[in-house]
Amino acid sequence: MALRATGSGTISFGLVSIPFKIYTAASSQNVSFNLLNKKTGHRLKQQYVDAVDGTLVERDQMVKGYEFAKDQYVQFSEEELKKLESAKTNSLDLVEFVPEDSVDVVYLEKGYYIGPDKGGDKAYRLLAAAMIKTKTIAVGRYWTRGREQLVLIRPYHRKGMMMHYAYYANEVRNFDEIGLPGEVAFKDVEIELAQKLIEQLGSDEFKADKYRDEYEDRVRAAVEAKIAGQDIVVAEEAPKAQIIDLFEALKRSLGTGSKDEAPASAGPKKAEPRAEEGEAAPAGKKGRKKTG
Residue 118 maps to a domain: yes
Q: Read off the pLDDT of residues 106-163 as tens digits, 9 standing for 90 and up.
A: 999 889 999 999 999 999 999 999 999 999 999 999 988 778 899 999 999 888 999 9
Cβ(112)–Cβ(7) below 8 Å: no
Residue 157 maps to a domain: yes
Residue 138 maps to a domain: yes
Q: What angle do CA 190, 195, 201 make, to 5 degrees?
A: 130
Residue 151's contacts (CB-CB under 8 Å, 6 or more residues apart) are 92, 139, 140, 141, 142, 163, 164, 165, 166
User: Could you count the other beta carbons within 10 Å of the beta carbon of residue 65?
Assistant: 11
For residues 216 and 209, what is the distance between their CA atoms, to the nearest angstrom? 15
CATH number at residue 163: 2.40.290.10
Of 180, 189, 90, the residue nearest 143 (C-alpha): 90
Identify the pLDDT of residue 281.
45
Residue 119 maps to a domain: yes
- The CA-based diameter of the chain, rounded to the nearest angstrom, is 124
Cα distances (Å, whole numbers) of residue 211 to 199, 206, 214, 217: 20, 10, 9, 12
Residue 273's contacts (CB-CB under 8 Å, 6 or more residues apart) are 282
Residue 203 maps to a domain: no
Residue 282 maps to a domain: no
Element (H, E) at 97: strand 91-99
Residue 265 maps to a domain: no
Residue 65 maps to a domain: no
For the chain, the straight-line distance linking the first and the last C-alpha, in angstroms and rounded, comes to 103
Residue range(s) defining the domain that contains residue 17: 7-28+86-171
Identify the pLDDT of residue 209.
85
From first to last of its 292 residues, the chain has per-residue pLDDT tens of 778 898 898 999 888 889 999 898 888 788 889 999 999 989 999 899 999 999 999 999 999 999 999 999 999 999 998 888 877 778 899 999 999 999 999 999 889 999 999 999 999 999 999 999 999 999 999 988 778 899 999 999 888 999 999 999 999 998 888 888 888 888 888 888 888 888 888 888 888 888 888 888 888 888 888 888 866 666 566 666 665 566 676 677 777 655 444 444 444 444 444 444 444 444 444 444 444 4
Give strand ranges (E) for 100-222: 108-116, 136-144, 147-156, 160-166
For residues 14 and 129, what is the distance between their CA atoms, to the nearest angstrom? 18
Cβ(150)–Cβ(96) below 8 Å: no
Structural domains of the chain, count: 1
